[in-house]
Amino acid sequence: MNKYKIAYYKNDFTSVKSVIKDKINFSLFITLSILLFSSCRKETENADFFLEYPLEFTIQTGANPILTHVFTWSVPSSWNNFLSQNNLSNSDISSIRPVSIYITTPFNSPINYDFVEEAKVRIYNPNDASSKQTIGEIYFEPTNRDIDLYLLPGLSDCNKYVMLPQFKIDLNLRFREIIRTNTNHRMFIKFGVFKK
């Protein structure tokens, strides 16, 4: 089904203008998203190091599309190990930014993620849940293809979280339909570490 429907009115140019304006705004949003994604890819290539965290979860049978389903992990950062292995200190680091976030199935079993309507990932300090910061999100358009679910990574600096011994990650999912069977999934979050 098309996102926008052209409305025809005999003498009502306001409605037609509104529809055209919506189409232009949507096209502009898509263009800016592509430009942002390509600039993020260039920045990703310039990162000095990468840290990747795989996180597993199960979507349960009967999960309701009316609710937002939240999956939470306490993630050991291994930050001190990273510093010692690379002969670095915190003062050598300028920023840590998310560069890639995607959801797939264990062993790359084919799955169609069209049942996901919205996904958002947030990072925060385990001792301060009010400090949640969005690091990736997507409002998913159905594709009818078996593909991994890629989120758009945010541009925010995550130094104050990744440098902790442990940080927390929330994944918020909303579904288009009631889930009919249990499925196992794995989310990979990759951070780019940039030196001064």
In angstroms and rounded to an integer, the radius of gyration of the C-alpha atoms of the chain is 20
Please report which residue ranges of 50-165 form alpha helices under DSSP H: 79-85, 159-162
CATH architecture of structural domain 48-195: Sandwich (2.60)
Give the model confidence (pLDDT) of 29-69 as tens digits.
Answer: 444 444 444 444 445 558 999 999 999 999 999 999 999 99
Exposed/middle/buried for 113, CB within 10 Å: 0-12, 13-18, 19+?
Answer: buried
- The model scores a pTM over 0.85: no
Give the model confidence (pLDDT) of 139-151 as tens digits.
Answer: 767 777 778 899 9
